[in-house]
Amino acid sequence: KGTVVLAATPIGNTADASARLVTLLEQADIVAAEDTRRLYALANRLGVHVGGRVVANHDHNERGKADMLLDEVAAGATVVVVSDAGMPTINDPGLAIVRRAIERNLPVTCAPGPSAVLDALALSGLPTDRFCYEGFLPRKHAERMQHLRALRAERRTIVFYETLHRIADSMDDLLAVFGPDRPMALCRELTKSYEQIRRGSIAQIRQSVIDEPPHGEMVLVIGGASEQEAARALGIAVDRQTGDGAGD
Ligand code: SAM
């Protein structure tokens, strides 16, 4: 039997590519890439010759591709799965092949490396002992508000991915739901030469987004609710359910 290998790629700094990634790209029988042009661009920057077959494995064809790739694994091939940046499966393709490999009892392993979640969390200065990853917030305001309200009592540090198009609206909604004082960090262009971490309260970061709109890729890290905030948020939720008027 061969193996599926999920391989992390750099999120902005080519030098973060691991020695293992380089070997895998050189030696894989098949590289399943989210975007084949981006894979070749990375290989060029690394000075790597991709020896095996390269196939596209993006969100739209992933499920269909998984069985075809796993037939090759069953026949002895090493299939390396890469996304455009960071860890495959983390808001990127890869999960379909992992699930099918588990179902088919075929080996799957990981060559770990950069991922914006952990990079941002570690740099945020907020508690790292317990955290939750929320991916991208919903695009629509009403859904975003609902999603954030459901997190009001969350005690763990919360990590969101965000885009420059929505950051201003998201900051308004974060302020409305979590209030002005929660500590947070806006981490942008991680590992790149213009890396910038803005740390402060939600109100301060919102103001900084208005004064100096952030460009590039970004991650938001929000401090979890204090015990009092969580109790208050849960109290309100209980009130709504029971209608008994207890709480504040
Ligand atoms: N699989 C990737 C990972 O492991 O981080 C995430 C892919 S997701 C489609 C892309 C999002 O990740 C961006 O919109 C941004 O929120 C975050 N991201 C990726 N690279 C980043 C970087 N260098 N700096 C800040 N955020 C980054």
pLDDT grade for 62, boundaries at 50, 70 and 90: confident
Residue 213 CA to residue 192 CA, distance in Å, equals 18
Q: How far is the CA of 7 from the centre of ligand 1 (A)?
A: 15
pLDDT grade for 64, boundaries at 50, 70 and 90: confident
- Count of helix runs (H) and strand runs (E) in the chain: 9, 10
Percentage of residues in the chain having pLDDT higher than 90: 89
Q: Average pLDDT over the chain, rounded to whole?
A: 94
Residue 29 CA to residue 13 CA, distance in Å, equals 26
pLDDT grade for 247, boundaries at 50, 70 and 90: very low
Mean pLDDT along residues 163-185: 97
Q: How far is the CA of 162 from the centre of ligand 1 (A)?
A: 8
| DSSP-assigned states of every residue in 26-86 | HH-SEEEESSHHHHHHHHHHHT----SEEEE--TTTHHHHHHHHHHHHHTT-EEEEE-SSB
Enumerate residues 6+ apart whose C-beta is below 8 A from 155.
130, 224, 225, 227, 230
pLDDT of residue 76: 98
Angle at which helix 62-74 crosses helix 95-103, to 10 degrees, equals: 50
Q: How far is the CA of 31 from the centre of ligand 1 (A)?
A: 21
58: Cα within 13 Å, side-chain hemisphere: 9
Q: How far is the CA of 14 from the centre of ligand 1 (A)?
A: 15
Question: Residue 196 belongs to what H/E stretch?
Answer: strand 196-201
pTM exceeds cut of 0.90: yes
Q: Which atom of ligand 1 is nearest to the CA of 8?
A: 4
pLDDT of residue 63: 82
pLDDT of residue 246: 46
As for ligand 1, residues whose beta carbon falls within 6 Å of it are 11-12, 83, 85-87, 90-92, 115-117, 161-163, 187-192, 217-219
pLDDT of residue 248: 46
> Does the pLDDT of residue 170 top 50, yes or no?
yes
pLDDT of residue 239: 52
Complex ipTM more than 0.95, yes or no: yes
Which residue blocks in 93-152 are alpha helix, DSSP H?
95-103, 116-124, 141-149
Q: Which atom of ligand 1 is nearest to the CA of 12?
A: 23
